[in-house]
Amino acid sequence: MQENRVEALLQGLRTAYPGAQSRLKYSNPFELLVAAILSAQTTDDQVNKVTPGLFRRYPTAAALAAADPEEVAACIKSLGLYRMKAANLVAACRILEEKHGGQVPDNIDELLELPGVGRKVANVVLSNAFGRDVIAVDTHVFRVANRLGLATAGSVLETEKQLMTVLPPGTRGEAHHLLIHHGRAICRARHPKCRECVVSMYCSDEDHKNRGKASH
């Protein structure tokens, strides 16, 4: 995809979603790591409902590392996979205490050693907590990036690699939020609102692209 087309696409999304940012509520890297682990297969809004109480009870990695996983599970039982997530949180925080002085590491290899942390969570933490110029690819980013021709990939990892190449330096974290917002609001997996899409002219799906032409 040509550089000027990428910039025009990003600008269209910026206009549609000014100030797009993470919906997860956090105040430090530890809280973001916990919230990101909890966000698997559930919504950010659901996560935000449980994290205030969780952080009051377990405000640090040391507190969670010493916790009973069953008690942690009780705090987050409204979320899907809550028992597994609770076990992962406690195990991850024990590693933070044992290997990192209770601090969240700022490199992907060490983040990926933590239970419950895959590339998406690691890149969310690196981008939002540490300002790294990386892009986290979730289901929304994967779908929208491939529909809009920013990537032509069959996997999340390959999509991440292609986006790191095609997106201008300094825009990758922003692009993550823009693509997620667009995926939630317009470019849905089912019944996308093509006629309301401000960037439908870049759509690589001819069926969707034709549906969006009426508004441009």
Is there a catalytic annotation at residue 138?
yes
DSSP per-residue letters across 50-105? HHHHHHHH--SHHHHHTS-HHHHHHHTTTSTTHHHHHHHHHHHHHHHHHHHTTPPP
Q: Which of 120, 133, 161, 209 is catalytic?
A: 120
Is there a catalytic annotation at residue 49?
no
Please list, in sequence order, all residues whose beta carbon lies within 8 angstroms of the beta carbon of residue 192, skipping any fewer than 6 positions away: 186, 208
**98: buried, middle or exposed (CB in 10 Å: 19+, 13-18, 0-12)?**
exposed
Q: Which of 138, 193, 205, 207 is catalytic?
A: 138
Quote the CA–CA distance of 133 and 178 in Å, as a whole number.
15
At 170, is the secondary structure helix, strand, or coil?
coil
Q: Which residues are catalytic?
A: 120, 138
